[in-house]
Structure 1
Amino acid sequence: MPQDDTPRSPAPPDDPDTRRLALVMHAAFFVLLGASLIRFLLRHPGEPRTPWIIGLSVTLAALHVLLYVVRPARHGDGTAASHPRLRLAVVLLVWALLVVLAPSFAWCAVPLFYIALRTLPTRTALALVTLLTGVVVTAQLQLSTGGLDPTIVLGTPAVAAVAAATFVHMQRQAARQRTLIDDLLRTRRELAATERREGTLAERQRLSMEIHDTLAQGLSSQQMLLQAADRIWDADPATARRHVRTATSIAERNLAEARRFVHDLAPADLAEAGARGGGLEEALRTVAAREDARFRVDGTAPAAPLPDRVQSALLRIAQGALANVREHAHASATALTLTYLDDQVVLDIADDGRGFDTHTLPGPTGVRGHGLPAMRARVQQLGGTLAVESAPGEGTVLSAAIPLAIPLEPTP
């Protein structure tokens, strides 16, 4: 049997199994102590040692009650009764005196095995159990009147060995279970921390995309309009004021968008379309009209409305793509097309602007800046794809396709 000097780690005092085992051991101790005292008084009445036997028996019972029943789990307050080894030493000393005066009290050692195995390091506890077993065997041989009894010499150590081995095995199994529980709790805490970190990163990504597609694009448009107004203020005040009013309108919409995406609500255009009884198509038509773009719907919309996150993603993609057209493409015509297919919905944004060389730009689809990567991230989270076709001087076509049966979990 493996041995070590690790101190015992008893189960928590509130464990029902531990309480029941302790109750059985206390009861066994008092039964054996009482039986030994009664046996002595019946066989040796009126002897000079009788008062000593009675006094030591009462003292041993009182110590056991005080040290192991009344305050079994108090430790570290600096008193003698708070140290497990000292408590056990006091009880064993009184018990040893009793055994010297009356060998029949040796059987009281059996419950003391439990105390030793529960409070001492394994190696020390087994050594003490061996010593106590030897005392029990010696005392029983003194009481034996039929000569050498093999059942006492061999049976008693065998029973003690089985009891000790069983108890140590149970203690180690309990320790392994507590270690496993601690590992599981630690793993659960680590998983919770990981989920919080992932949630934080996802929220940061969401906010970065929202800020780019709404506030950043709006501020860029305002800057362009105000710069244009400043250049022509003296030459054409009416047009300059019109630019300022347009910039003011964009600022108002940006404010509404900021309030909504902070609370993770639908885009303002989508919310306004929903309030009027419309949906994604009306919201896209509003955005297209604002940017002087044509809007067209092909195919038949599914009976069930598109999920909110699909509608929000398509609207954000349309807003970002039209902002890119306005700022970079210098296009004379732009068209938005929403197409419903059997298994997916497709949004195409096409312009006749100056275009760009997708092969010279980083990314699998030649994405640049932050706008196109943000669009691609939105589409991939819904299990879709984003394609960009362009060439210098030949305009650009951006196509976002999202399956109608979107995955339950966002695609990483």
Structure 2
Amino acid sequence: MRLVGLALHGAFYALLAVALGPSLLGTEPPAVPALGLLLAAAYGAGVVRRAARPGPWLAVVTALWLALLALDHGFSYVAFPLFFHFLRAMPVRWSLPAVAASTAAVVAAQAAAPGGLTAAKVIGPVAGALVAVLTAYGYAALYRESARRQGLIDDLVRTRDELAAAQREAGRLAERQRLAREIHDTLAQGLSSIVLLARAAETADPATSRAHVREVGRTAADNLAEARRFVRALTPPALEDTPLPEALRRVTARTAPTAAFRLDGEPRALPVETEVALLRLTQEALANVTRHARAEHAAVTLSYLDGEVTLDIYDDGVGFTPGRGPADGRRTFGLHGMRERIAELGGTLTVESAPGEGTAVAAAVPVRPAAPAGPAATEPGALEAA
């Protein structure tokens, strides 16, 4: 529509300039150039201001054009772009009579010109009006069809997002139920056995008590093995045999090849849930950069500080307005999911962005300092149990 509007405005000024040519050369009454320049200014003011109700502006432009048409029949051709304005800005019950009246004014002006009224002077303006009407209605039909298709696309996108959210929620609930069954059938049963054996050892004779204690140790070892199996099953493949900085470096290179990865501070072991959260945050943020930002540069910075670890993802893309959803009203879950994941660890997530100014995502997660290694921690049994 922007291109159509520019073409219409260009046609108006081109036809007006052609009609004003003789008057600017001094062959027409002096009132014609003044009215012509006034018409150009009035038309330009309406184009720049883009009033919500173009009726008054169009009435002023039409009145000035009729005045010029009365002085010089050469302004008849300016009616053609005005036809399109009538059809765009006015309802049908007014636009068609306006086009008919303008066509009649052009025919009357041509009849008053030298040579009188001829068939060509009637057919030309009428044909121009018919072309304008058919073009405008054809364009309107195409626009309605395009709007209908865009509505269908928006519905499909919204349905896809809702389905993806439902699938994520269903997957989360299914995983929770699976873990509940696994824990009930393994860890919970083992812990119950440990409790019963410990109680039995309290009242048994020394030999039986030692046997119970040995059984407690075997059951605890089995439960520890089950717990480790759970942890391995929940750990993303990217973190199985790779430290967090190297995993983030690989994710950055794979998801956004033009992005840079930087590491600050001395890497240290972090809880599994913290490493998983930072990995998922990086994946989600870089996916947004790739899909939406149209950025030339991006950077991922992982920093190990005293008492916390921070992750910053920056891009110089198109940016957006934080807190404002898409124009079509559909829900988005990326940033919301990021905040929930970081908040569960006691951390904070900050998103700074503005249209045309890029985006910065900063996460800070507190990390408890490692307990000092005591004598008990250096015993082989303690290290093995850990």
Range with bigger deviation, 224-233 or 236-245 = 224-233
User: Which structure 2 segments of 5+ residues have no match?
Assistant: 241-386
Q: Which amino acid aligns with 1:263?
A: T
Q: Which residue of 1 aligns with 2:15?
A: 32
Q: Which residue of 1 aligns with 2:307?
A: none
Question: Shift of the alpha carbon at 1:123?
Answer: 4.1
Are the counterparts in 2 of residues 103 and 143 from structure 1 also a CA contact under 8 Å? yes
Kindly tell me: are residues 22 and 234 of structure 1, through their superposed partners in 2, closer, same or farther at Cα, counting changes over 3 Å? closer
Kindly tell me: are residues 24 and 209 of structure 1, through their superposed partners in 2, closer, same or farther at Cα, counting changes over 3 Å? closer
Deviations 1:282-315 (A, max 9, x none): xxxxxxxxxxxxxxxxxxxxxxxxxxxxxxxxxx
Question: Shift of the alpha carbon at 1:161?
Answer: 1.2
Q: Distance in 2 between matches of 1:158 and 1:214?
A: 83
Higher RCO (CA-CA < 8 Å; seq separation 6+)? 1
Deviations 1:56-80 (A, max 9, x none): 1111122223332xx2xx54xxxxx
Q: Which amino acid aligns with 1:241?
A: V
Are the counterparts in 2 of residues 104 and 143 from structure 1 also a CA contact under 8 Å? no
Question: Shift of the alpha carbon at 1:252?
Answer: 1.9
Query: Which residue, 166, 187, 197 being the options, matches 1:218?
Result: 187
Question: Shift of the alpha carbon at 1:91?
Answer: 0.9
Q: Which residue of 2 aligns with 1:238?
A: 210
- Give the secondary-structure state (helix, strand or coil) at the position aligned to 2:203: coil
Q: Which residue of 2 aligns with 1:140?
A: 110
Deviations 1:333-388 (A, max 9, x none): xxxxxxxxxxxxxxxxxxxxxxxxxxxxxxxxxxxxxxxxxxxxxxxxxxxxxxxx
Q: Distance in 1 between matches of 2:185 and 2:112?
A: 99
Question: Shift of the alpha carbon at 1:201?
Answer: 0.9
Question: Shift of the alpha carbon at 1:126?
Answer: 2.6
Are the counterparts in 1 of residues 190 and 223 from structure 2 also a CA contact under 8 Å? no
Question: Shift of the alpha carbon at 1:41?
Answer: 7.4
User: Which structure 1 segments of 5+ residues have no match?
Assistant: 1-10, 76-80, 269-412
Query: Which residue, 226, 229, 236 being the options, matches 1:257?
Result: 229
Kindly tell me: are residues 35 and 250 of structure 1, through their superposed partners in 2, closer, same or farther at Cα, counting changes over 3 Å? same
Q: Which residue of 1 aligns with 2:219?
A: 247
Are the counterparts in 2 of residues 215 and 254 from structure 1 also a CA contact under 8 Å? no
- Give the secondary-structure state (helix, strand or coil) at the position aligned to 1:143: coil
Query: Which residue, 97, 105, 121 being the options, matches 2:91?
Result: 121
Q: Which amino acid aligns with 2:216?
A: V
Q: Distance in 1 between matches of 2:229 and 2:86?
A: 72
Kindly tell me: are residues 228 and 120 of structure 1, through their superposed partners in 2, closer, same or farther at Cα, counting changes over 3 Å? same
Rg larger for = 1
Q: Distance in 2 between matches of 1:252 and 1:90?
A: 87
Q: Which residue of 1 aligns with 2:61?
A: 91
Are the counterparts in 2 of residues 214 and 257 from structure 1 also a CA contact under 8 Å? no
Q: Which amino acid aligns with 2:119?
A: P
Query: Which residue, 143, 151, 175 being the options, matches 1:174?
Result: 143
Q: Which residue of 2 aligns with 1:53?
A: 32
Question: Shift of the alpha carbon at 1:113?
Answer: 1.4
Q: Distance in 2 between matches of 1:165 and 1:43?
A: 38
Kindly tell me: are residues 157 and 110 of structure 1, through their superposed partners in 2, closer, same or farther at Cα, counting changes over 3 Å? same
Question: Shift of the alpha carbon at 1:115?
Answer: 2.3
What TM-score, normalized to structure 1?
0.50
Q: Which residue of 2 aligns with 1:65?
A: 44
Kindly tell me: are residues 234 and 26 of structure 1, through their superposed partners in 2, closer, same or farther at Cα, counting changes over 3 Å? closer
Q: Matches of residues 198-217 of structure 1 in structure 2 within 5 Å?
A: 198-214=167-183, 216-217=185-186
- Give the secondary-structure state (helix, strand or coil) at the position aligned to 2:224: helix
Q: Distance in 2 between matches of 1:188 and 1:260?
A: 36
Q: Distance in 2 between matches of 1:42 and 1:247?
A: 108
- Give the secondary-structure state (helix, strand or coil) at the position aligned to 2:38: helix
Q: Distance in 1 between matches of 2:10 and 2:217?
A: 93
Query: What is the number of equivalent residue pairs in this alignment?
Result: 236
Q: Which amino acid aligns with 2:63?
A: L
Question: Shift of the alpha carbon at 1:198?
Answer: 1.2
Q: Which residue of 2 aligns with 1:149?
A: 118
Question: Shift of the alpha carbon at 1:155?
Answer: 4.1
Kindly tell me: are residues 195 and 230 of structure 1, through their superposed partners in 2, closer, same or farther at Cα, counting changes over 3 Å? same
Q: Distance in 1 between matches of 2:177 and 2:128?
A: 73
Q: CA RMSD in A?
A: 3.0
Question: Shift of the alpha carbon at 1:187?
Answer: 0.6
Question: Shift of the alpha carbon at 1:97?
Answer: 1.8
Are the counterparts in 2 of residues 230 and 240 from structure 1 also a CA contact under 8 Å? no
Q: Which residue of 1 aligns with 2:268?
A: none
Deviations 1:119-150 (A, max 9, x none): 3334433332222112112211222524x423
Are the counterparts in 1 of residues 201 and 213 from structure 2 also a CA contact under 8 Å? no
Q: Matches of residues 267-278 of structure 1 in structure 2 within 5 Å?
A: none
Q: Distance in 2 between matches of 1:201 and 1:25?
A: 54
Q: Matches of residues 9-408 of structure 1 in structure 2 within 5 Å?
A: 11=1, 13=2, 18=3, 21-39=4-22, 50-68=29-47, 71=48, 74-75=49-50, 83-143=53-113, 145-146=115-116, 148-214=117-183, 216-235=185-204, 236-263=208-235
Q: Which amino acid aligns with 1:84?
A: P
